[in-house]
Structure 1
Amino acid sequence: MSEPTSTRNLDQYGHAELPWSRARDVLVADTPTADLTFFVATVRPDGRPHTAGVGAVWVDDALHFVGGPGTRRSRNLAVNPACSISVRLRGLDLVLEGEAHRVTDPEVLERVAEVYRTGGWPATVEGDALTAPFTAPSAGPPPWHLYRLTLRTAFGVASAEPHGATRWDFAH
């Protein structure tokens, strides 16, 4: 994904566009060690929204998160991969929109598990999923499917200097 294909300044007070690197750099630096809760919004088969808090990590230039196969989020994503993920980062409120697809590649699973371990969650690869002695109640019982967000659009609103609000679009 790397860089956005287009940006749009949404700030109404004259601040400059925010660079995507500001959001990306905080995601790289703060996941998984900072105390961040990401909220994943998916769509139920009947069209109603569903939102759940998750622990997410930025690995290989993408956001990854887990969900047990029986969770509402995983069941929704199996039918409709469209989702949005929101988080308050250091100095920046961020919304990421795109599609989340299950990751089963053993090398990617191991890289993501290693990043989770650096943050204190002792994740290991078991088959085509992750497992650990504990997790958040919203993840459901192990093993957990790993999802990678394919980013389409992101919105950032700076809560610290330099202020601003920007939309970033990504081509795929």
Structure 2
Amino acid sequence: MTDPTAGRPYMPGYGIRPEGEGSGLLSWAWALDRLTGSHDYWVASVRPDGRPHVMPVWGVWADDAFWFSSSVGSRKMRNLAERPDCVVTTEDPRDPVVLEGRAEVTSDPAEIAAFLAVLNTKYAVAYGVGFLDPAVNATVRVGPVQAIGLLHTDFRGSPTRWRFPRGGPED
């Protein structure tokens, strides 16, 4: 994948500086460092009645997407089955990356095995493929639409929005 397109996010009322001022636009490498290095992530989904739902998960950034697993009967999976659009955030609220995307469940054995290998390495665990039996635990790929990141040390001069080629709604 080529790097996403970077620009300033729309943040009225916060005095956000133009792209060439302050820290300037953050690099996609900066965002990838946070997406791969975060230990925990927050996944936000929407219940069928429109109420929000947020839960922490372990996850990995691999193959240009965010991956996690969850029980097929969990609230987040039932939400994502109805409305696959979701938000994933890194664990650091001071220098965050907030990723908007679309969740897709895979039952492809090769994709599940690849996710499991990266997960086992990252978290120093030894889950077997039976742990991700698609009838019990879903393997989820969140394909990115856009992401926003910023530095707490330069709130007005660092906000960056990355848009991915797959596109999506603007704002």
| TM-score normalised according to structure 2 size | 0.79
Q: Which runs of 5+ in 2 are unaligned?
A: 10-15, 167-171
Distance 1:91 1:47, change over 3 A: closer
Look up the match of 1:148.
141
Equivalent AA in structure 1 for residue 138 of structure 2: H
CA contact (8 A) 1:2 1:61 kept: no
Offset, 1:55: 0.5
Q: What is the percentage of aligned positions where both structures have the same residue?
A: 33
CA contact (8 A) 1:23 1:92 kept: no
**Matched residues in 2 for 1:115 and 1:76: separation?**
26
CA contact (8 A) 1:9 1:16 kept: no
Deviation sequence 1:36-83 (CA, Å, 0-9, x none): 221100011111110001001111121101110110000011111000
Look up the match of 2:126.
122
Distance 1:152 1:56, change over 3 A: same
Q: Does 1:164 align with 2:158?
A: yes
The partner residue of 1:108 within 102, 106, 111 is 111
**Matched residues in 2 for 1:109 and 1:59: separation?**
12
Distance 1:79 1:110, change over 3 A: same
Q: Which runs of 5+ in 1 are unaligned?
A: 132-141
Query: Aligned to 2:96, what secondary structure does the other structure show?
Result: strand
The partner residue of 1:20 within 5, 20, 28 is 28
| TM-score normalised according to structure 1 size | 0.79
Look up the match of 1:85.
88
Equivalent AA in structure 2 for residue 61 of structure 1: D
**Matched residues in 2 for 1:59 and 1:15: separation?**
28
Offset, 1:146: 0.7
Greater strand share, structure number: 1
Look up the match of 1:135.
none
Equivalent AA in structure 1 for residue 55 of structure 2: A
Equivalent AA in structure 1 for residue 79 of structure 2: N
Aligned-CA RMSD value: 2.5
Distance 1:89 1:2, change over 3 A: farther
How many residues are treated as equivalent by the alignment? 154
Distance 1:155 1:101, change over 3 A: same
CA contact (8 A) 2:150 2:159 kept: yes
